[in-house]
Amino acid sequence: MFNRKDYVSDKDWQNFLEFSKDLETPNIVINVNTVKQNYIKLRDSFPYARIYYAVKSNPGEPVLKMLVDMGSNFDIASRYELDLINKFDVSPDRLSYGNTIKKAKDIKYFYDKGVRMFATDSKDDLKNIAEQAPGSRIYVRILIESTTTADWPLSRKFGCHPDMAYDLLVQARELGLTPYGISFHVGSQQRDIGQWNDAIAKAKYLFTSLEEEEDIRLSMINMGGGFPASYVDPTNDLSTYASEITRYIQEDFGEDIPEIILEPGRSLVGDSGILTSEVILTSRKNNTALNRWVYIDAGKFNGLIETLDEAIKYPLITSKDGPNEKEGEVIIAGPTCDSMDIMYENAKYKLPVSLKAGDKIYWLSTGAYTSTYASVAFNGFPPIKTYFM
């Protein structure tokens, strides 16, 4: 159904097969060199921007160590991620507390560790920052509602209306904080590059109105993530994203371009991972059923939660793939006693008819939001193991 060479080179595939041949399934293998090459490509595509890697997308220590050495900055979502990144003696000026939902004691924890840049989108959170992290730089996340073109939208829960962002930045100054910038996120795996145009225009409106009306000069736009990994649905190349987004920034800001921050996660680590699962059994629900059910030892609760509502469609290959293999439509489900543990039913994936228990199904581009986006022990199954190649 999928051409493996479109996603993984022959050399990387052979290295993966050799590396993983004795690993118990399910497992995820991360090719750290792929992350490195993706980081270089993103850095070179946006030479004027600072990269803050979204640790939550894959907090594997070999990945973090490599990115620290490459000079990346880091977007931190919790005190636990902060403790993890601090294992590598990262200077706090390379860190941002990007979660708008945080406890007052956690704000203080970050402040005590030297972090001075905080995201916010609400009055109470802003007051907590003023009390627990005095004098810090504040950037306000604005609500981006038109994210239906993203495979994994991030609207509603995060951000506030631009008018409220205006008020929060004014209040930040009154509370002794530094109004620093605007942030937004157009949705993860965003295929409509035009969404950045609308978001940058909103940021420009806030920059201009705050300077003209309140004498507040903002310095930074945090454009979040949204750049794609290589899944089933096609996307533009990163170079197209970069050229278009750069044009949007120049059209709105001219030569007076603010500091630009990117917070990539999926685009850096998504393509680096291969999740190996084993077929537990195949079955049909009646004697004349057209579709087979294929049950595997990984599922929504053990690495594949982003198949929820079939949002992220991973390319799949199997140990039975071959030019003469007959394929048929399947429903792919996980191993737990939960009826929602079905990954693909409507997407009409086709797998070899000869597929049976013990065969392998390889889930490509599973380096992001898999190993850590999983239950600890649902049905007693242990967390999926991740290995770094």
Cα 302 to Cα 280: distance, rounded to the nearest angstrom? 15
Phi and psi dihedrals of 140, rounded to 5?
A: -105, 130
Q: pLDDT averaged over consecutive 10-residue blocks of the chain (389 residues)?
A: 91 97 97 98 97 97 98 98 97 97 98 98 98 98 76 74 97 98 89 90 97 98 91 90 96 96 96 98 88 96 95 96 92 96 96 96 97 88 95
CB 165 within 8 A of CB 206: yes
Cα 178 to Cα 180: distance, rounded to the nearest angstrom? 6
Which stretch of DSSP H or E encloses residue 52? strand 49-54
pLDDT value of position 233:
85
pLDDT value of position 190:
83
CB 216 within 8 A of CB 207: no
Q: Which long-range contacts (CB under 8 A, 24 or more apart) does 156-164 make?
A: 158/100, 158/121, 158/185, 159/100, 159/121, 159/184, 159/185, 160/121, 160/122, 162/202, 162/205, 162/206, 164/121
**pTM of the full structure:** 0.95
Cα 326 to Cα 329: distance, rounded to the nearest angstrom? 11
pLDDT value of position 154:
64
pLDDT value of position 157:
80
Q: Which residues of 207-229 are buried (b: 16+ CB within 10 A; e: fewer)?
A: beebeeeeebebebbbbbbbbbb
CB 32 within 8 A of CB 225: no
pLDDT value of position 147:
57
Altogether, the residues listed in the chain come to a count of 389
Task: From residue 141, give the alpha-carbon distance in Å to each of 135, 184, 277, 342.
Answer: 19, 5, 38, 34
